[in-house]
Amino acid sequence: MSNDPANGRPPGPDQPPSANPAHGSVPLPATGPEAHVLVGSADLFVNWARKSSLWYLLFATACCGIELMQAGASRYDLDRFGAVFRATPRQSDLMLVAGTITHKMADRVKRLYEQMPEPKYVIAMGSCANTGGPFYKDSYCVVKGVDLLIPVDVYIPGCPPRPEALIDGIMKLQKIIMQKKNYGPKA
Amino acid sequence: MEAQAIFDMLKGKFGDAVVELQGEGFGPAFVVVSPAEVNAIARFLRDDPALSFDSLMCLSGVDYKERFAVAYHLHSMKHRHAVGVKAFLPREAPSLPTVDDVWPAANFQEREAYDLFGIAFEGSKDLRRILLPEDWEGHPLRKDYKYPDFYHGIKV
């Protein structure tokens, strides 16, 4: 097979546009060695990396933790999305608040959140973490929503949410992460 | 052994410290005793071979509005019989002797009654709050408990 004299490469799908009627008359950039450059934004790359390795802190305080375990196990397999559990906040990107938070636990929630490195995200899983849930009315000991303590990115309703809902919440968070601007001018 | 027989046995041993038998419409029946004698009666109930109540199934605090009570549910693994013991306490500064030297399992349950009802157990090995934070004010299961507005800056 002889190389094409125009660019020194074998003829193939990346022939000059004039040879390919599908491209019409739109000129393509030169296809020499100097053109082998991936052009994109740093934000895109960094956000892609972050959303693809959401390591979450094991933080199960009630029955939502059972669904969280299911979502992490083989049937629903959160590892597919790069989300694996960590037992320490220092290695975690995502705090999955799975369960009821009492006032006695509130100080620990804040401390664990503060120990996580930036950037960090929080998902409130289930009614208790969203609003206090069944304990909203007439409870002296339950915090009425974990957003009273720490900032929350995604709320997942359900009592408890099924693993599909949890995975949907994580994918919503991935969309949020993809919209972040890390390197642009500060607003 | 039936509750009436247990009651008669306790009455013969402790006299006026055993007040009455409450058994209408529920079981096991409750033997109402004087709070000051709770520890001695508990020890007798455990050690007497005809009774041998070796298991404290439950220890509860009760708020009857005008007074408190502590209720003990006892069961004998050997004889397969059960009885309740109840001691009424005044609303002001409720206090009675501990039974955690008779049944060690009583300790956690006494701490719970102390935590949620404010009932003091004299001579307890370790009387601290068990569920609520150490700096919590008040005893939430009392009928006249008022909820705090904030705890550590978080709305309750």
pLDDT of residue A138: 83
In this model, does residue A19 exceed pLDDT 70?
A: no
Q: What is the mean pLDDT of chain B?
A: 89
Which of B65, B70, B46, B54 minimizes the C-alpha distance to B122? B70
CA dihedral A19, A24, A26, A27 (to 10 degrees): 0
The answer to whether B130 faces chain A, any CB pair under 8 Å, is no
For residue range A115-155, what is the model confidence (pLDDT) as tens digits? Answer: 999 889 999 999 999 998 899 888 888 999 899 999 999 99
How many CB atoms are located within 10 Å of the residue B119 CB?
26
The answer to whether A131 faces chain B, any CB pair under 8 Å, is no
> DSSP characters for A39-108?
---HHHHHHHHHHTT--EE--B-STHHHHHHHHHSTTT-GGGGT--EESSGGG-SEEEEES--BHHHHHH
CA dist A127 and A131 (Å) reads: 6
Question: How confident is the model over B63-71, as a mean pLDDT?
Answer: 92
CA dist A103 and A109 (Å) reads: 10
CA dist A163 and A169 (Å) reads: 10
CA dist A135 and B22 (Å) reads: 35
Dihedrals phi, psi of B95, to nearest 5 degrees: -160, 140
pLDDT of residue B2: 85
User: Helix (H, G, I), strand (E, B), or coil: what is residue A160?
Assistant: coil
The answer to whether A183 faces chain B, any CB pair under 8 Å, is no
Judge contact between A121 and A95, C-beta under 8 A. Answer: yes
For residue range A54-87, what is the model confidence (pLDDT) as tens digits? Answer: 999 988 888 999 999 999 899 999 899 888 888 8
Dihedrals phi, psi of A18, to nearest 5 degrees: -65, -25
The answer to whether A79 faces chain B, any CB pair under 8 Å, is no
The answer for B 26-45 residues in CB contact with A (under 8 A) is none
* pTM, rounded to two decimals: 0.75
Using an 8 Å CB-CB cutoff, list chain A residues near B155.
144, 148
ipTM of model: 0.75
How close B40 gets to chain A, by Cα (Å)? 37
A12: Cβ contacts below 8 Å, ≥ 6 apart = none
In this model, does residue B129 exceed pLDDT 50?
A: yes
pLDDT of residue B67: 92
CA dist A65 and A71 (Å) reads: 10
CA dist A3 and A10 (Å) reads: 4
pLDDT of residue B135: 87
